[in-house]
Structure 1
Amino acid sequence: MKKLIAALTLILAFSINANAQDKNKQSAYDLAKKQASELTEYLGLDNTQNENFARLLEQKFSVLDNKDLTKERKDEFSRVIEAKIRASLDPNLMDKLEKNTELFEKLIH
């Protein structure tokens, strides 16, 4: 299952337009850092986890910003993001995150 998720993530990551504008990259980076900080503050994560989530969320923003992706592919990528978040957090932290539905939905969509 993890190999399947990793393969899907790599496929979607490489399908991103390589010539994206620096402005879009910067905004994806800024949005990702902001969401990662919110998650870190809410769950009390350490700096390493914060950086890992920032990279994951930056990839999310880059992929979901691609106008050529169909809704189905975007939905699948959102499911991959959710699976990665679930795999990265222990069950107690995941339960706490699920109780904050607003933050959880913001992270996966």
Structure 2
Amino acid sequence: MKNLLGALVLFLAFTVNASAQETFKKVDEKVEAKSNLAALSEVVPVQGTLSEDLFRLFEYKHRNLNGNLSAERKAELAKIIELKLRATLSQEQMQSIESKPGLLKKLTN
């Protein structure tokens, strides 16, 4: 009986531990999107509908990242976000972003 009870306790302990490792931190999409937009606004002036469009893009990014994506899917999402940024912003604006180290990575990942 002791062995059966001990085995049950160990089984439950490993089950709880395994499920705890599967959880990941979800973020508030709107807060993170505002943070990305603020970081972008420090380098490139964004106003009006451009600001709204970029906010929705960053919100889309964080909504998808909350879905616990695989590494390949995250890389694909980062590539899509970068392509959309390049299509939305002018070449001069993209050069300003690229001149600031780490900003493009922060905006896309």
Q: What is the CA distance between 1:102 and its match in structure 2? A: 1.8
Q: What is the CA distance between 1:103 and its match in structure 2? A: 1.5
Per the alignment, residue 96 of structure 1 pairs with 96
Please give the alpha-carbon distance, in whole angstroms, between the structure 2 residues aligned to 1:33 and 1:83: 20
TM-score for the superposition, normalised by structure 1:
0.70
Are 2:87 and 1:106 aligned? no
Please give the secondary structure, in 1, of the residue aligned with 2:38. helix
Are 2:63 and 1:62 aligned? yes
Partner AA of 1:75 in structure 2: A
Runs of 4+ in 1 over 2 A off after TM superposition: none
Partner AA of 1:108 in structure 2: T
Structure 2 unaligned blocks of 5 or more: 1-25
Please give the alpha-carbon distance, in whole angstroms, between the structure 2 residues aligned to 1:62 and 1:89: 22
Q: What is the CA distance between 1:32 and its match in structure 2? A: 0.1
Please give the alpha-carbon distance, in whole angstroms, between the structure 2 residues aligned to 1:54 and 1:101: 21
- Native 8 Å contact 1:37 1:50 kept in 2: no
How many residues in Structure 1 have an aligned counterpart in Structure 2? 84
- Native 8 Å contact 1:35 1:57 kept in 2: yes
Please give the alpha-carbon distance, in whole angstroms, between the structure 1 residues aligned to 2:40 and 2:51: 8
RMSD of aligned C-alpha atoms? 1.5
